[in-house]
Amino acid sequence: MSETLLSVSDVSINKGLRQLLRGVDFTVKSGEIWQLRGGNGVGKTSLLRAMAGLARVEVFGAINRCEDMLYSGHATALKGALSARDNLLSHPSGMGMPTSAEVDEALGRVKLQGYEEAKAGRLSAGQKRRVALARLFLPSGRLWLLDEPFTALDVLGVKILEERFIEHADAGGAVVFTSHQPADLGDRLNLLNLEQFSGE
Amino acid sequence: MANESSRQASNVSSGLPELNLSQFLWVQTRRHLGLLIASPGEIVNPLLFFLLVVILFPLGLGPDPEQLSLLAPGILWVVALLANLMICMRLFVDDFEDGSLEQLAMAPLPLAVAVVPQLLASWLASGVILSLVSPLFGLMLGFPLAAAPTLVASLLMGTLIMLLVGAIGAALTVGIQRGGILLALLILPLYVPILIAGTRALEEATSQGDPMVALALLGAGVTGGLVLAPVAIAAGLRVSLEL
Amino acid sequence: MWRIIHQFGSPPWVYRFCDRVIPWLLPLTMLALVVGSVWGLLYAPTDYKQGDSYRIIYIHVPTAVVSLAGYYVMAFAGLVSLVWRIKLADTAMRAAAPIGAAFTAVALITGAIWGKPTWGAWWVWDARVTSMLILFFLYVGVIALFQAYENKAVAARACAILSLVGTVNIPIIYKSVDWWYSLHQPASIKFTGESAIDASMLYPLLGMIVTFYALFALLMMLNLRQMLTEEHARSSWLVKRLAH
């Protein structure tokens, strides 16, 4: 049984006077993992933000999605002055309102044991990214919209994340992410090449 | 903006527990207080600014205690107003830039409620502290200690209204590069009634009059501000986030 | 009712409306301005206290009255634009702002010119003058905020919110400034109350107030038409209309 978590029908996106994308059409069902691909500036982030309801551009067409969504963008809402644990405990999305124990477990899953008390500002770029991605190991939405989640991750981090995607999809969720790199998700991965919808 | 992406509620059942509103607000208040405490400059700098400007007045006007104590109510309030302006300039900038605000806007509660913790934390760390130490600054200007309760009470309420009104301007200008001067232009005219009521309370208190009328007006301002301002702040933030 | 709202939201209809009204409103307003000025400046009696200098009220008072009304026009347009998302209301709001600011500036300048012979100073912290100054800054704030945004659709929304906040505050500001003034009233300033004004002075004043309302409407329509021309430069209805 698979439900539709996101449907994008005939969506066009304008940025200023330029048409970025035209006639984007696809449906995300539970259990699916989608990668949005395309070169720089093709409109991956714009489309993802539009799907999250955060469009900073003009969007035409219909986007329907479930309320139950997690969005993580380039800006990760991490506060350098707070510890990794406090960052996740007080994440402003208000999602799931995790307990301290849940947060520590999630940090363990992204291999950051021992860093719970560390100020996020002291962590490396890759570690910061992991803290942000630890949200995926906490009670979270069914539909994940992730902008470049693999940025700054090492090989192990990428592997952890890919396994988590599959785990989430198997549990009835769905993932839509943007990335330049080919992801190692085998036949679970649906590719959407945005070049074919390019407005120019 | 012709944004037709409707957020239709679908029949997908939520896997998440209901948001516990009071817990969320408490956690967010702690987050913002934690951030303010982690960078003490944000708390101390407005106080230092207040002190410095208070020092400038005797240097500019002359040390005559009579004249200073006559001008003290006005000086104290104008300086408090400027210190508040400084705080408003920083109010949403970090959260806007690091993505916290857009995450907050996606939280399952009205944005007008979701911004309250930050306002509360900011008031506790700035307005309340400034109000409590203001009698010390008053002493430097010959402001009588007997009128200190009125000074503290008027500033407690005044800084809260000024923060609420200033946050509207801050919300509208947070996306603008170098919006600081613009913010001053937008909100200083709106501060006029607060300044008038506040200085009036102090003048009454120092001249053996009854400051209650002015204090009651400030109280009314707090009530009205608490009801109306969060709605305007949320609307302003939505504009800045281009939602 | 709904049809009327719909019509006012349609740029071609409003453009046509402006095109029809301006040709007779323009000469009528100019005529009224001339008649009112001549009446006020030449035929109205001389004030026994202030002499002829009081005659500046025939410019000062109307601009002051209309500049306040102009703010409400602007804020109402902002409200319509926020609630119904009518783009034309944005344009109307933007069209009103500079005109209102200009009226306020004229009121302030004429007030200063009037103040010199009457009170012996160019600037006096009178309650009305002070309120007018704050109103001027409220207008300037809206204009500056619009200029600061790059995305003009977003700018219009921001300005609408700001002008609504201003609307809520204007009565409070006016009341508080009145209160402030009544408490600090300096003895040297004695203002002839307007209730004591004689009918022979009042009628030309009322005439001028009506005329300045018409002038505001005229300027706003001219400005609105200009802005619509810019915004819809490539729309077929405008191209057709201009080709006429």
User: What pLDDT, in 10s, does the model give residues C46-100?
Assistant: 776 677 777 888 888 899 999 999 999 999 999 998 888 888 888 899 999 999 9
Q: Residue B17 domain-assigned?
A: no
Q: What is the pLDDT of residue B118?
A: 94
More confident residue, C24 or C201: C24
Question: What are the boundaries of each domain within chain C?
Answer: 31-45+55-185+211-243
Nearest to A69 by CA among A96, A39, A91: A96
Q: What is the pLDDT of residue B8?
A: 34
Q: What is the pLDDT of residue B152?
A: 95
Q: What is the pLDDT of residue B6?
A: 36
Burial of residue A184 (number of CB atoms within 10 Å: 0-12, 13-18, 19+): exposed
Closest partner CB to C161 (pick from B1, B172, B196): B172
pLDDT tier at B79 (50, 70, 90 boundaries)?
very high
The pLDDT of C161-165, averaged and rounded, is 94
CB contact under 8 A, C137 and B185: yes
Sign of CA dihedral C85, C86, C89, C91: positive
**B contact set with C (CB within 8 A):** 1, 165, 168-169, 172-173, 175-176, 179, 182, 185-186, 188-190, 192-193, 196-197, 200, 228, 232, 235-236, 239-240, 242
B49 touches chain A (CB under 8 A): no
ipTM greater than 0.95, yes or no? no
Strands A18-29 and A4-15: antiparallel
Contact B150, B215 (CB under 8 A): yes
Q: Biggest alpha carbon distance in chain B?
A: 75
Phi and psi angles of residue A53, each rounded to the nearest 5 degrees, phi first: 80, 20
pLDDT tier at B225 (50, 70, 90 boundaries)?
very high
Domain assignment of residue B184, given as a range: 22-241
Distance CA B103, CA B96 (A): 10
Q: Residue B190 domain-assigned?
A: yes
Distance CA A138, CA C79 (A): 42
Nearest to B182 by CA among A147, C146, C40, C110: C146
Residue B4 clears pLDDT 70, i.e. is over it = no
CB contact under 8 A, B38 and A5: no
Tell me the per-residue pLDDT of B132-180, one tens digit each, with 9 for 90 and over.
999 999 999 989 988 999 999 999 999 999 999 999 999 999 988 878 8
Closest residue, chain B, to C176 (C-alpha): B193
What percentage of residues in chain C have a pLDDT greater than 70? 89
* pTM reported for the whole predicted model: 0.88
Cα-Cα-Cα-Cα dihedral of A164, A170, A174, A179, to 10°? 40
Q: Residue B192 domain-assigned?
A: yes
Amino acid at B178: R
CB contact under 8 A, A68 and B15: yes
CB contact under 8 A, A66 and B108: no
Q: Which two tokens stand for residue C46?
A: 């001389």
Amino acid at B11: N
Distance CA A131, CA A146 (A): 14
Can you list the alpha helix ranges (DSSP code H) found in A28-154? Answer: 44-52, 84-89, 100-109, 125-133
Distances (CA, A) of B194 to A6, B211, C175: 49, 14, 12
As a CATH number, domain A1-68+144-200 is 3.40.50.300
The pLDDT of A121-131, averaged and rounded, is 89
Can you list the alpha helix ranges (DSSP code H) found in A8-154? Answer: 44-52, 84-89, 100-109, 125-133
- Region of residue C2 (phi > 0: left; psi between -120 and 50: alpha; otherwise: beta): alpha
CB contact under 8 A, B10 and A76: no
Residue A30 with chain B: CB contacts under 8 Å:
12
Supply the DSSP string of A185-196, one letter for each residue: -GGGEEEEEGGG
Residue B218 with chain C: CB contacts under 8 Å:
none
Supply the DSSP string of B200-223, one letter for each residue: HHHHHHHTT--THHHHHHHHHHHH
Distance CA A200, CA A192 (A): 18
Could you tell me which residues come within 8 angstroms of residue C239 by beta carbon, excluding any fewer than 6 positions away? none
Nearest to A177 by CA among A163, A167, A162: A162
Closest partner CB to B98 (pick from A55, A75, A95): A75
CB contact under 8 A, C140 and B185: yes
Tell me the per-residue pLDDT of C115-138, one tens digit each, with 9 for 90 and over.
888 778 888 888 888 889 999 999
Contact C173, B194 (CB under 8 A): no
Nearest to B16 by CA among C232, A93, A49, C132: A93
Could you tell me which residues come within 8 angstroms of residue A165 by beta carbon, excluding any fewer than 6 positions away? A33, A175, A177, A185, A188
Min Cα–Cα distance to chain C from B236, Å: 7
Helices C57-84 and C152-184: crossing angle in degrees, nearest 10, is 140
Q: Residue B50 domain-assigned?
A: yes
Q: Residue B209 domain-assigned?
A: yes
Q: Residue B94 domain-assigned?
A: yes
Q: What is the pLDDT of residue A1?
A: 57
More confident residue, C87 or C107: C107
- Region of residue B204 (phi > 0: left; psi between -120 and 50: alpha; otherwise: beta): alpha
Closest partner CB to B186 (pick from C141, C149, C172): C141
Tell me the per-residue pLDDT of B95-128, one tens digit each, with 9 for 90 and over.
999 989 999 988 888 999 999 999 999 999 999 9
Residue C218 clears pLDDT 50, i.e. is over it = yes
Q: How many domains does chain B have?
A: 1
pLDDT tier at C5 (50, 70, 90 boundaries)?
low
Residue with tokens 């009651």: B216
Closest residue, chain A, to B31 (C-alpha): A90
